[in-house]
Each structure stands twice: as structure tokens, then as C-alpha cells.
Amino acid sequence: MHFFKLYFKVISTLFFVILFFSTLQAKNVDKFNDGKIASNYFSGILLLKDNQHNESYKFLKKLNGLEDVHPNFSIKYLNSMVILGKIEEAYKYSKKLERKKLDSFDSNLIIGVFHLKNEDYDLAQKYFEKLREKSYLSLNKFISNSLIHWSSLKYLDLNSASIKIDSMEEGFGNFKLIQRSFLHCFFDSKKTDNFFKSITSNSEIDYSRYNYFYANYLVNTGKIEAGKKILKKTIKNNPRNLLNNQFLIDLENSKKRSIFNCKNQNHIIAEIFYITANALSSQGLYSTSNFYLSLAKQLNEKFYSFDSLLAENYFETENFKEARKVLKTIETFGKTYYWYSAKQFSRILLKQKKKEKAIKSLKNAYSKLSKKNVYDSFDFAEFLKNNEKFDDSIKYYSEVLGIIDKNHPLYPEATDGRGVAFERMGDWEKAEKDLLASLKVKPNQAYVINYLAYSWIEKSIKIEKSLEMLKKANSLKENDPYIIDSLGWALYKLQKYKEAKEYLQRAVQLMPADPIVNDHYGDVLWKNGNEIQARYYWNYVLGLEDTEEKLKNNLKIKLISGL
């Protein structure tokens, strides 16, 4: 794994070397044809790619004037400034690019947002109009059209503004409907309620986030109980939404925080930037996502939903230092965000191979929760089970199951989790009972089927039944290596070695570094008469980092004696 990361970094560096010299313009090229300058540039770009924004900015700042001969430099430099929140510095640099006729989509966007923040909507619109000329991507067209529309509202009434929205190209699912809802809310239209209902009642797409805006609108118009009702309903269907959970807690504690106002067009534009950032993050474009999140925070710095995505982006890029900083801020927003931050801190510690510290940290955070709901307790139980604290996890799973009934959505998950913990503790009777209870309530859980069937196979019981169950699991989750391995192992136990070999070979192709899968494949090779190849795979498993001691001992015997 470390080799591939290093290989990728080397290839990335070579790519930027080629890009750098191929995009340098002939004019004044000698000024920058210097090893130190090239080193600063590559360091800055690679650090930016790794989301190390502070360090990236330090290198890129040294290269003043490079934009004259290398146009791509200015975009990278602007990105580093904006992500660090240096909007005024980014604005001044963007104006410099404008004077040199080197402006870009990004530089015009930054100038426009700077004027928006200062509520100079005429100037903002001027620069958003310029975005159209440089909108070659559908994403940029979506952004430019939305910004032009929302920055021009002071010249429009509801009817003309609605016509403008309807003329926009379709993009981002039903985002036109979202914009219409915000528009009616902005103009205090009597139809606002109906528009929000039309978004939040959509069963095909998860619009639970927009229940927050609907409830916020109701609360701001004095309908606090109606707002609470909306939140309770959406939390019942989507219990993990941080924004809705925290808003309901605040309302129930008579603590209303003004973090979003649909009559503030900057707040709405900030939400447009958030939607853009979320879409980019889902595609793995974390640095660009952070760029738009930073712009969103410039226009609505109190809206803590932006920070949770920012923390997640930093986590995904393993920039744990910055992730921790953001999480330290998030944990002050209330109980929901405190628990979310605690779980994220523990995830970071696990990534850093500090398992015991992660467990201790989350135990401490859980004990500090003044009011725990079943989802808090379930998440804690899952964390304990996943980190081999099976006895402790059983306690919390049991607490959850003592509160909920079989119709609760957590019931199949909690019985499955407790069943796995019982099995790992060696109490098969209770494990089997829980796993069967989970499947009785929710029969099509491919991974629960797999766990139960594989456990039966390992105990050499109900193998025919296990095989039928695994065929069902395989149809529910095609190309899942664990299920394919279990299916092959069931066939192996039934002495159908040729058929078993096909499945186990496929499992090895999907999971080439898994010790169990490779061991199984070695066994089936032996049974098919391929003894040399079998020993090769057994020997390979001995060298794998994750191979447990018990398996190593078995492999040593097999390498000498075979099966």
C-alpha cells in the first residue's frame, strides 16, 4: 500500500513537471526557469492536492508574478487563499489578474463574492455576468446562472424572478424546485409552505436537509409548534441528520439560533455553494469542495452544517490536523454536533493506529452525554463491537433492544450486531438466536445471511441450507468478495471442488490480500490436484501482515503435510 502511494506521488510530480514546462509562455520564461522556483511551485501544488493548505500557501506566495508565464498558477494560488479564509487577499490578487487581463472563472467568482459579502449587489452581479463567458463546464454554468439570478433580486418581483428560475438549465436533480422554495420564502409568498412541502414530500430523493429550511421558515413566522412537528417527522424517517436533530433540541430548550434567514440572499447563495461543495465531495474532489465551502462560510459564517462537510473532507484526505481544528469548533454547537465530533475524533485515532486511545476517548464522550437516545447508544455499541470490545457492546445493544420493539428500524441492526458480538465471545446459542431474529424481521440482509451461513459452515452444520442462503445473498449483493468466498467455501465443504474453485478464484481476484480467502483458495487448489499452486498460496498467506497467529500455525502444518 505504501509503495502504491509513493508511486502515485512520483507520477503526480512528473505530471506537474511536464505541465509546468509545457504551459510556460515564452515571454519572460528565463525569469522563472529556476530550480528553486520550480521546487516551490511543485511543493505548493502537491500540498494543495493533499489539502495541506497552510503549507501550500507559503510556497505559492513566494512565486509572485508567475501568473504572467504560467496561467494555471493563479488558479492554484487563489484556491489556497480562499480555503484558508483569506478572502480579502484573494480579492486583491484577483483584481491584479483583472488588470493584467489574466482573469479566470475563479478570480471573477472571488471578486463577486467579495462584493456580495459587502452587500454591493450591483458590482457582484457585474462579475457574475463575466462568469458566463468562462463557464465551459456544466457545474460552472449552474453556479453562474444561480449567482446572476440571486444577486439581481432587488430589481425583480416574485413573478419575474420565478420566470428567471424557470429558464435556468436543469441540473443537480430537482434544484429548480429548491430555488423556487427559497424564492417564495424570500418574497414572503403565501405559496412558500406549499413549495417546501413539495420538496420534502419527495419519496424518491432524500431531501431531509430541506426539512430544516422548512421548519426554520415556520419558526421565523411564529409557527414554532408546526416547525417542531416537521422536524420530529423527518427525524423519525431520517434520524441521522445533524442539522434537524440539533434544531429540534434547540427549539425544545427554547434556544433559537439565527444561523439561516431565507430573506437574506447571501444565506441562500451560501447554500448554493454548499450544494456544489457536497456534489464535488461525493466525487472525491475534496480540495475544490473545500474552496466552495470556504466561499459559503464567507456569506454565512454561522451555518455550522458547512463545517461538518469540511471536517469530513479533511478526514477523507487524512489531513487530521485540520480535521481536528474544525471538529473542535463543531463540538461547541450543541449535543448532536458534540457526539458527531466525538465519533469523528475516534475515527481519526483509529486511523492513526491508536485504538485504545480511541476507545477511551469515545467512552468518555458517551458518558458526558446528558441525554442519550437509542441512536447514540446503538452507535456506541457498534463502535465497541467493531473494536473487539464485545462484552461491553452486548451491554449497550441490550439497552437499545430493551427500549425499542420489533417494528423499530434499529431492531434488525441491533440484533445483528449483538449476534456478531455473542458469536465472537463464543456464545453460539445466543448469537444464532439474534441473527435469526434479525433476518426474521428483515429477510433480505445479504451480510447477515452471509455471517449466519458462514458460521454454520465453519461448525459443519446446515451446510445445504447455508448454500441456498448464500445463493440468495449473492443475488442480493453481486460481486461481493466475502459472499463469494462463503459460497465457494460451502461448495468446498460439500466436496464440490471444481465448482468451489470457480467461486474461490473469483474471491481471490476481488480480495488479493485477504488471508482467509487466499487460504481457502489454497485448500481448493489442493483438492483439485494443484498441489504446487496450493502451497504457493499458503506460503503467500504466511507473509501477509494481517494473518492471525492461529492461521499461521495451521498453514505451517499444511505446507509440510498438505491436506
Neighbours of 434 (CB within 10 A): 25
pLDDT for the residue numbered 121: 92
Phi-psi sector, 85: left (phi>0), alpha (psi -120 to 50), beta? left
Residue 537 lies in a domain: yes
Question: Is a pLDDT exceeding 90 seen at residue 133?
Answer: no
As a whole number, mean pLDDT of residues 92-105 equals 94
CA dist 176 → 76, 164, 188, 292 (Å): 31, 11, 18, 20
Whether the per-residue pLDDT at 147 is higher than 50: the answer is yes
Q: pLDDT tens for residues 343-397?
A: 999 999 999 999 999 999 999 999 999 889 999 999 999 999 999 999 999 999 9
CA atoms within 13 A on the CB side of 456: 22
How far is residue 243's CA from residue 337's CA, in Å, rounded to a whole number? 9
Amino acid identity for residue 450 in this structure: N
Instruction: Decide if 299 contacts 273 (C-beta within 8 A).
Output: yes
Q: Let me know if residue 544 belongs to a domain.
A: yes
Q: Residue 2's pLDDT band (boundaries 50, 70, 90)?
A: very low
In a domain, residue 441? The reply is no
Q: How many domains does the chain have?
A: 1
Q: Residue range 205-217: average pLDDT?
A: 89
Does 529 reside within a domain?
Answer: yes
C-alpha separations of 249 from 124, 207, 245 in Å? 37, 20, 6
Q: Among 306, 304, 269, which Cα is nearest to 290's?
A: 306
pLDDT of residue 111: 97
List the CATH number of the domain containing 562: 1.25.40.10
Q: Tell me phi and psi for residue 304, to 5 degrees.
A: -70, -10
Q: Tell whether the torsion through CA atoms of 507, 512, 515 and 520 is positive or negative.
A: positive
Distance CA 280, CA 137 (A): 13
Q: What is the pLDDT of residues 278-309, one digit of tens each?
A: 999 999 999 899 999 999 999 999 898 999 99
On whether residue 559 sits in a domain, the answer given is yes
> How confident is the model over 131-157, as a mean pLDDT?
85
Query: Whole-prediction pTM value?
Result: 0.86
Domain carrying residue 503: 480-563
Tell me the backbone φ, ψ of residue 478, rounded to 5 degrees.
-70, 145
| 528 alpha carbon, distance to own chain's centre | 44
pLDDT at 38: 65
pLDDT in tens, 47-65: 766 667 777 777 777 777 7
Report how far Cα 230 is from the mean position of its chain's Cα atoms: 26
Asked if 201 contacts 216 with a C-beta cutoff of 8 angstroms, the reply is no
Cα 298 from chain centre: 22
